[in-house]
């Protein structure tokens, strides 16, 4: 509609066309709200309610980030649990093999058990390089670095050869001396001796502080994955790390075919390793239980965050979302007013002085 110049348009016509312009703008605004489903596409358009919207939106974003972290953590924990299940199976099989040696010193039996232990040691090293996406689940906070540099050479590298050399002399040096030497070899964090990455080549207690965590709530953090070399205090028969102790035991058993199986030292070494494996299995079991508990806690946290998100979204909707029924009524009323105004203006344009006489 074209509005005439104020100098030639009667005052009543100017007022009428101004009212029509405002009604047309109102109609466009209402139609926009109907189409978008929100009262305004900007916070400024919400009036005093913009402060509530500005407060709620960051909270919704934060909850979404926590939920995303939980999803990531659950994926990592699931992958870690699968790897740990296979590692505990290796430990169980080793205990079975050691039991089979208790009643015989047959060369063929010793050879078979030693071969299996070497194969399991290689498998263990490969499992420690398990990844969830691009992250190594046993690497702690250095999750982009492989925990074990080269799993394929672990049964022939410095660590294994050092253990094998000690086991080979068990017949003359005795079990106690041999065990002490193998614990030292398994605990060696030197760059040429350790099978682990530089960040993981530390004592078990220090390694426990290298865990990776994600934020899953307000001041709530959860550990994801495991640190391969983590554990507690070392002792004369333990590195302090269940996984390192399992590696040591596998290396010891994997070297038994180089020892004098008829010696007292051999028998004692097998008995002591069997006893030590009980503690290793218990330590691995605690890790598995801890992972499971964390997964259960995260499942509960996911439900809580879902309820929180729904509540926040509902509050934001009450501030930003338009009411379809109310808008429909407003739009109909506005369109009726516009139609009446158009008709009135058309009638006013057709009036002449004679119409007033």
User: How confident is the model at residue 7, as a pLDDT?
Assistant: 47
Q: By percentage, how much of the chain surpasses pLDDT 70?
A: 73
User: How confident is the model at residue 64, as a pLDDT?
Assistant: 93
- pLDDT band for position 46 (cuts 50, 70, 90): very low
The answer to whether the CB of 40 falls within 8 A of the CB of 46 is yes
Q: 10 Å Cβ neighbour count for 147?
A: 27
User: How confident is the model at residue 326, as a pLDDT?
Assistant: 56
The chain-wide mean pLDDT, for the chain, equals 84
User: Which among 138, 155, 128 is positioned nearest to 254, based on CA atoms?
Assistant: 155
Give CA–CA dist 84/191, Å, rounded: 26
The answer to whether the CB of 175 falls within 8 A of the CB of 268 is yes
Give CA–CA dist 181/162, Å, rounded: 9
Give CA–CA dist 159/353, Å, rounded: 114
- The arithmetic mean of pLDDT across residues 222-227, rounded, is 90
Domain count, the chain: 1
**Residue 344 pLDDT more than 80?**
no
DSSP state of 2: P
User: How confident is the model at residue 180, as a pLDDT?
Assistant: 97
**Residue 30 pLDDT more than 60?**
no
User: How confident is the model at residue 219, as a pLDDT?
Assistant: 87
Q: By percentage, how much of the chain surpasses pLDDT 90?
A: 61
User: Is 202 or 48 the better-scoring residue by pLDDT?
Assistant: 202
Residue 231 lies in a domain: yes
Residues β-bridged to residue 227: 139
What pLDDT, in 10s, does the model give residues 70-79? 999 999 999 9
User: Is 331 or 85 the better-scoring residue by pLDDT?
Assistant: 85
Residue 180 lies in a domain: yes
Q: Residue 143, Cα to own-chain centre: how many angstroms?
A: 12
| Bridge-based pairing state of the strands 131-132 and 135-136 | antiparallel
User: How confident is the model at residue 255, as a pLDDT?
Assistant: 97
In this structure, the dihedral spanned by the alpha carbons of residues 79, 82, 86 and 89, taken in order and rounded to 10 degrees, is: 150
Longest dimension (CA), the chain: 138
- The arithmetic mean of pLDDT across residues 11-18, rounded, is 64
Range of the domain at 108: 75-307
User: How confident is the model at residue 183, as a pLDDT?
Assistant: 97
What pLDDT, in 10s, does the model give residues 321-337? 544 555 456 556 666 66
Tell me, what CATH number does 300's domain have?
A: 1.20.1330
DSSP helix/strand/coil, 213: strand
Helix segments in the chain, DSSP class H: 11-36, 50-102, 107-127, 158-168, 170-173, 175-187, 204-207, 242-254, 264-320, 324-349
Residue 122 lies in a domain: yes
User: How confident is the model at residue 311, as a pLDDT?
Assistant: 83
Q: Which of 3-17, 153-167, 256-270 has the lowest mean pLDDT?
A: 3-17
Residue 40 lies in a domain: no
**Residue 45 pLDDT more than 80?**
no
Residue 303 lies in a domain: yes
Locate 231 and state its tokens.
């554990």
Q: 10 Å Cβ neighbour count for 336?
A: 11
Residues β-bridged to residue 235: 238
- The arithmetic mean of pLDDT across residues 207-227, rounded, is 91
- pLDDT band for position 15 (cuts 50, 70, 90): low
User: Is 77 or 31 the better-scoring residue by pLDDT?
Assistant: 77
DSSP helix/strand/coil, 321: strand
User: Which among 108, 121, 179 is positioned nearest to 153, based on CA atoms?
Assistant: 121
Residue 324 lies in a domain: no
Residue 352 lies in a domain: no
Rg (CA), the chain: 38
DSSP helix/strand/coil, 235: strand
Residue 333 lies in a domain: no
DSSP state of 224: E
- pLDDT band for position 106 (cuts 50, 70, 90): confident
Helix (H) or strand (E) holding 215: strand 212-217
User: How confident is the model at residue 322, as a pLDDT?
Assistant: 47
The answer to whether the CB of 145 falls within 8 A of the CB of 123 is no
The answer to whether the CB of 185 falls within 8 A of the CB of 159 is yes
């Amino acid at each position: 509609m074209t509005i005439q110049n104020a100098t030639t348009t009667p005052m009543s016509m100017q007022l009428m066309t101004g009212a029509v312009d405002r009604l047309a703008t109102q109609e466009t605004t209402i139609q926009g709200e109907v189409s978008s489903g929100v009262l305004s596409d900007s916070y400024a358009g919400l009036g005093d309610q913009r402060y509530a919207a500005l407060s709620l939106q960051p909270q919704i974003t934060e909850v979404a980030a926590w939920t995303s972290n939980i999803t990531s953590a659950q994926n990592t924990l699931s992958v870690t649990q699968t790897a740990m299940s296979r590692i505990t199976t290796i430990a169980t099989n080793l205990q079975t093999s050691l039991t089979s040696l208790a009643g015989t010193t047959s060369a063929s039996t010793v050879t078979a058990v030693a071969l299996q232990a070497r194969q399991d040691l290689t498998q263990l090293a490969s499992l420690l390089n398990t990844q969830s996406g691009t992250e190594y689940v046993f690497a702690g906070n250095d999750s982009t670095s492989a925990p074990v540099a080269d799993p394929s050479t672990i049964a022939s590298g410095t660590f294994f050869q050092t253990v094998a050399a000690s086991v080979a002399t068990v017949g003359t040096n005795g079990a106690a001396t041999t065990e002490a030497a193998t614990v030292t070899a398994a605990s060696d964090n030197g760059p040429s001796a350790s099978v682990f990455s530089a960040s993981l080549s530390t004592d078990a207690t220090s390694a426990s502080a290298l865990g990776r965590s994600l934020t899953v709530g307000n001041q709530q953090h959860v550990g994801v994955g495991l640190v391969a070399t983590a554990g507690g205090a070392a002792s004369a028969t333990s590195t302090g790390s269940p996984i390192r102790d399992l590696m040591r035991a596998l290396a010891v058993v994997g070297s038994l075919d180089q020892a004098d199986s008829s010696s007292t030292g051999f028998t004692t070494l097998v008995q002591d390793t069997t006893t030590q494996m009980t503690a290793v299995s218990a330590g691995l079991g605690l890790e598995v239980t801890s992972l499971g508990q964390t997964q259960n806690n995260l499942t509960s946290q996911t439900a809580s965050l879902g309820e929180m998100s729904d509540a926040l979204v509902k509050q934001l909707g009450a501030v930003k979302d338009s009411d379809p029924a109310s808008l429909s009524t407003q739009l109909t009323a506005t369109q009726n007013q516009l139609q009446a105004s158009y008709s009135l203006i058309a009638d006013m344009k057709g009036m002449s002085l004679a119409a007033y006489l």
